[in-house]
Amino acid sequence: MSFWNASRRVFDLSLGEMLWSRRTIFMALVVGGPVLLAVIVKVVELFGMSALRVNRQPVAGFGIFGVMIWMLFLRFIVPVLGVFYGTALMADEVEDKTITYVFTRPIPRGAVLVGKYLAYLACTMLVVLPSVMIVYFLLVPFSALPETFGSLVIDLGLLGLGLAVYGAVFAFVGAFFKRPLVIGLLFAFGWEQVVMALPGYLKQFTIAYYLQALVPHAMPADGVASMLQGMFRENPPVAVCLAWLFAYLGVFLYLATRVVERKEYVLEQ
């Protein structure tokens, strides 16, 4: 069976498994939060009040949507889903001691990882992107739709790219390291957050640096960390950001495939 045919078969099998696993409940809660918040904002606005005020000025629906994209989706949901799903692509099979059955099939080992990675992408995108769409239509009035729709499309593309890049990085982490979840959480919520708040070139070794430079909304200042990140924020050109993000995606996915093909997984008895 060719590599891509094998990947497709693994994708078919893995998508159902991922969608109806216990992790999906976690994902539904994480992604349902912004939708619930948007509903509350809408109800508050229906009563003629402003849900969010900055310096006593009401923030328009699209402004609230921008804050949600930054604070909920880009800084939390995308990395957290990348960590939980990405690291589990191979680690789950090792932990459940089912990897032997997968590897004994007459398919390339790398195709298993690629198929599972594509299933992860489909699964997370099919949950995250419709949730963003619902939040957008709840918060942004129809009169503002023509002028803000371009930003929504950029947001959707950015979130999709973020899920893909974080997924690839954590797929490698899951395939290579023994305690991938801890390493993944340390990378996403330790390394990236700290380095982004520091001056210097180290932030170039994060995904957030390139991803956040592409966001079409103003960066909210919601705390000391955000303030520092805002102070040391740089905006590399779009082409540079996209090139680095796709490079991360390609390199880490390739490395993850190589690791899966070469590594001898020793199952603990």
Partner 1 sequence: MSNRTRYFVAVTGAILVVGLGTGIVASYMGFPVSVFSSAAGPEELEYVPADAAVVAYANVRDVMNSQLRKRFQEMEPSQEHKNDFEEKTGLNFEQDIDTVVAAMMPKGNIATNPEGAFLILARGRFQAARLEALALEHGATIADYQGKRLITHHDTDSIGPSKHEDMAVGFVEADLIAFGSVTAVKASIDARRENRNVVSNVEMMRLVSELDNANAWAVGRFDAIAGQTGLPTEIASQMPAITRFSAAGHINGGVSGVLKAETKDEASAQNMRDVLKGLLALAKMQAGSKPGMQQLADSLILSGDGKNVALSFSVPSEVLDVLEGLAKGRKGM
Residues that bind partner 1 (CB under 8 A): 12, 15-16, 19-20, 48, 50, 54-58, 60, 122, 126-127, 129-130, 133-134, 136-137, 141-147, 149-150, 152-153, 218
Count CB-CB contacts under 10 A for residue 188. 24
Shortest reach from residue 211's CB to partner 1, in Å = 20
Comparison of 141 and 250: residue with beta carbon closer to partner 1:
141
Shortest reach from residue 44's CB to partner 1, in Å = 13
**b or e along 196-207 (b: 16 or more beta carbons within 10 Å of the residue's beta carbon)?**
bbeeeeebeebb
Q: Is the dihedral of CA 209, 239, 121, 103 positive or negative?
A: negative
Instruction: Give whole-number Cα distances, 15 to 10, 20, 157, 168, in Å.
Output: 8, 9, 21, 17
Shortest reach from residue 79's CB to partner 1, in Å = 21
Shortest reach from residue 247's CB to partner 1, in Å = 27
- Which backbone phi and psi does 54 adopt, to 5 degrees? -125, 125
Comparison of 145 and 243: residue with beta carbon closer to partner 1:
145
Based on its alpha-carbon atoms, the radius of gyration of the chain, rounded to whole angstroms, reads 20
Q: How many CA atoms lie less than 13 Å away from 136 in the CB half-sphere?
A: 21
Shortest reach from residue 141's CB to partner 1, in Å = 6
Quote the DSSP letter at residue 268. P
Comparison of 139 and 175: residue with beta carbon closer to partner 1:
139
Comparison of 18 and 94: residue with beta carbon closer to partner 1:
18
Alpha carbon dihedral 178, 184, 187, 192, in 10-degree steps, equals: 170
Comparison of 37 and 255: residue with beta carbon closer to partner 1:
37
Count CB-CB contacts under 10 A for residue 32. 13
Shortest reach from residue 48's CB to partner 1, in Å = 8
Shortest reach from residue 89's CB to partner 1, in Å = 18
Comparison of 67 and 175: residue with beta carbon closer to partner 1:
67
Rounded CA gap, 64 and 77, in Å?
17
Count CB-CB contacts under 10 A for residue 175. 25
Comparison of 145 and 251: residue with beta carbon closer to partner 1:
145
